[in-house]
Chains A and B, each alone.
Chain A
Amino acid sequence: MLKVENLVAGYSGIRALRGVSIDVAGGEFVAVIGANGAGKSTLLNAISGIIRPTSGTVALDGHQLEGKPAHVIARSGLLQVPEGRQILPDLTVHENLRLGALARHGRTPDFDIEGILKLFPRLEERLKQPAGTMSGGEQQMLAIGRALMGAPKVLLLDEPSLGLSPLMADHVFSALVQLHSRGLSILLIEQNVHRALEVTQRGYVIDQGQVVHQGASADLATDDSLIQHYLGQEPATA
């Protein structure tokens, strides 16, 4: 469904991404993990068109997307939930959700506002309030809900658990699992390696702007030396 090949990109002359190839099949839940500064967010932003890749290809359902402006890529069904959520703080929750629907571009969404409120019941009582007044976890739910309103073919998530309490992160991850079970293709970028590998099917490890490892998430999760070496994290204790 989503096929990224040899993607090269960077900021102001520094090549943060040096030829990355990944793919996400229809209905698949894939993780990209890596240490801070490994190039994960650059990868997502290059896919979404926030930064323009210098070379390489991005294809969604066989349509080439690389080099197109971000809003065109979003309308074609590749919807990103950006790092730090980027909800529109001055707009109400309801308005934020309505905004998400603008990216549909003729596709029939699996979720309308009611469906999203079922997925995230906490948002219901907050519909009329400015999104900026909610907690970080609620904002993350809103950001995911907003992307779902746009009928994504592939949902891209950039560090959804960043800055959330463990309890809130649980809520978010279980919602993602639910979405996956309903057939949505998801590409998840996470620093929280253990949680990411728990919920996903496959994973890529990125280091210094390149894919250094890939495989089934369960296998990656048990490879302690890999995790220690590339991610600088202690192996799972729990």
Chain B
Amino acid sequence: MNYFSQYLPLADIFLLALGFAFSQQVVLRAGVFSVATAGFASLGAYCSAILVTTYGWPAPAAIAASLLFGTAAGWCLSLPLARLRGIYQAIATLAFVQVVIAVMLFATSITGGGLGINSIPKSVGTGTLLAAAIITGYVMFAMQRSGIGRAFDAIQQEETVAAVLGVSIRRYHALAFTISGAIAGLFGGLQSLNTYTLTPSSFSFTFVIMVLGYIVVGGRRSAWGPVVGVAFLTLLPELSRGLAEYRPIVTGIVMIAVMIFLPLGLADTFILSLKRRKRQGNLVEGGTHVRSAS
């Protein structure tokens, strides 16, 4: 489960995980059950690593290329996948992740195969990661408040209703895929220039699980969801040393418990209960309407 080397500073682990969590959240928020984030991240990471080590590109250009590559991959994948639903989407995107891993293993001359790419010069520090996370977070917040956010909500709640309201589900699903690809590509690139080494297994099934876990624990709707989820799952076990050994088991138990008791996730449940409290205040004033509603 420790796909991030434990020697990395905690802040870097947190910020990279946060980026991938944002990428995962965008799709889930729009009602797309995609686990493609791992595939996009892998493509972005290899893109930067290869450009820097083989072609000697400067880091900023390589990262920009990763971002573009991720965006393109997200958009391409959305073309066929926006028509699928639910479990079909999940399996298809998992197949995509597996194809990416298999290609990385196969194309040894370019990717180094199973050994991966080593001694990548470290050109991305905590500051850059922080800047990237803040910008991504800001975009997520802005989207939350825009029409896109409302369209995503409508789709997630009830697709038929969304269709009646004139929301083009396919278009928004495609948009969600593309944004997810862009964010994952960017942070994949950042990770490879931050962690020295890159292998195909960096973004395997384990990665898929962890990233899903962040959103499940944190929440699918609010932009605070990924922050809370990543903090909960990466920082808490790290800070309490005794627990670190049992971290995966704790993660598993937390995933079950949160889904059963707080199916919306920590952040979303909290925000919803705040809103409810507000609304209940309003209801008392207009209490006479309740009867006719029943």
Q: Answer whether A and B touch in the complex at a CB cut-off of 8 Å.
A: yes
A11: shortest Cβ distance to chain B, in Å?
A: 10
Chain A residues closer than 8 Å to B164, beta-carbon distance: none
Closest to A14 in B: B294
- Give the contact-size bracket for chain B: under 10
**Per-residue B-contact encoding for A1-31, CB less than 8 Å = 1, 0 else:** 0000000001000111000000000000000
- In the complex, whether A203 has a CB less than 8 A from a CB of chain B is no
Chain A residues closer than 8 Å to B293, beta-carbon distance: 14
Chain B residues closer than 8 Å to A208, beta-carbon distance: 291, 294
In Å, the complex CA distance between A14 and B294 comes to: 6
In Å, the complex CA distance between A209 and B294 comes to: 9
**Per-residue B-contact encoding for A57-99, CB less than 8 Å = 1, 0 else:** 0000000000000000000000000000000000000000000
Chain B residues closer than 8 Å to A15, beta-carbon distance: 294
Interface residues of B in 265-294 (CB under 8 A from A): 291, 293-294
- Give the contact-size bracket for chain A: under 10
In Å, the complex CA distance between A15 and B294 comes to: 7
Mostly, the B contact residues are: helix
Chain B residues closer than 8 Å to A16, beta-carbon distance: 294
**Per-residue B-contact encoding for A189-209, CB less than 8 Å = 1, 0 else:** 000000000000000000011
Chain A residues closer than 8 Å to B291, beta-carbon distance: 208
Chain B residues closer than 8 Å to A209, beta-carbon distance: 294
**Per-residue A-contact encoding for B82-123, CB less than 8 Å = 1, 0 else:** 000000000000000000000000000000000000000000
In Å, the complex CA distance between A16 and B293 comes to: 10
In Å, the complex CA distance between A14 and B293 comes to: 8
Chain A residues closer than 8 Å to B294, beta-carbon distance: 10, 14-16, 208-209
Chain B residues closer than 8 Å to A10, beta-carbon distance: 294
In Å, the complex CA distance between A62 and B171 comes to: 60
Closest to A37 in B: B294
In Å, the complex CA distance between A149 and B61 comes to: 74
A202: shortest Cβ distance to chain B, in Å?
A: 26
A108: shortest Cβ distance to chain B, in Å?
A: 42
In Å, the complex CA distance between A107 and B293 comes to: 43
In Å, the complex CA distance between A15 and B291 comes to: 9
In Å, the complex CA distance between A69 and B138 comes to: 49
In Å, the complex CA distance between A10 and B294 comes to: 9
**Per-residue A-contact encoding for B237-262, CB less than 8 Å = 1, 0 else:** 00000000000000000000000000
Interface residues of A in 100-116 (CB under 8 A from B): none
B17: shortest Cβ distance to chain A, in Å?
A: 36
Closest to B292 in A: A208
A34: shortest Cβ distance to chain B, in Å?
A: 13
Closest to A208 in B: B294
In Å, the complex CA distance between A10 and B293 comes to: 13
For A10, A14, A16, the residue with the greatest tally of chain B CB atoms inside 10 Å of its CB is A14
In Å, the complex CA distance between A230 and B238 comes to: 66
In Å, the complex CA distance between A57 and B110 comes to: 74
Closest to A11 in B: B294
In Å, the complex CA distance between A65 and B291 comes to: 29
Closest to B294 in A: A14
B286: shortest Cβ distance to chain A, in Å?
A: 15
B279: shortest Cβ distance to chain A, in Å?
A: 12
Closest to B290 in A: A14
**Per-residue B-contact encoding for A126-142, CB less than 8 Å = 1, 0 else:** 00000000000000000
Measured CB to CB, the residues of A under 8 A from B are 10, 14-16, 208-209
A-B interface, 4 closest residue pairs, ranked by CB to CB distance from nearest:
A14-B294, A16-B294, A15-B294, A209-B294
A and B contact pairs by CB, cutoff 8 A, 8 listed: A10-B294, A14-B293, A14-B294, A15-B294, A16-B294, A208-B291, A208-B294, A209-B294
Q: A14-B293, A15-B294, A208-B291 are in contact. List 5 more A-B contacts (CB 8 A).
A: A10-B294, A14-B294, A16-B294, A208-B294, A209-B294
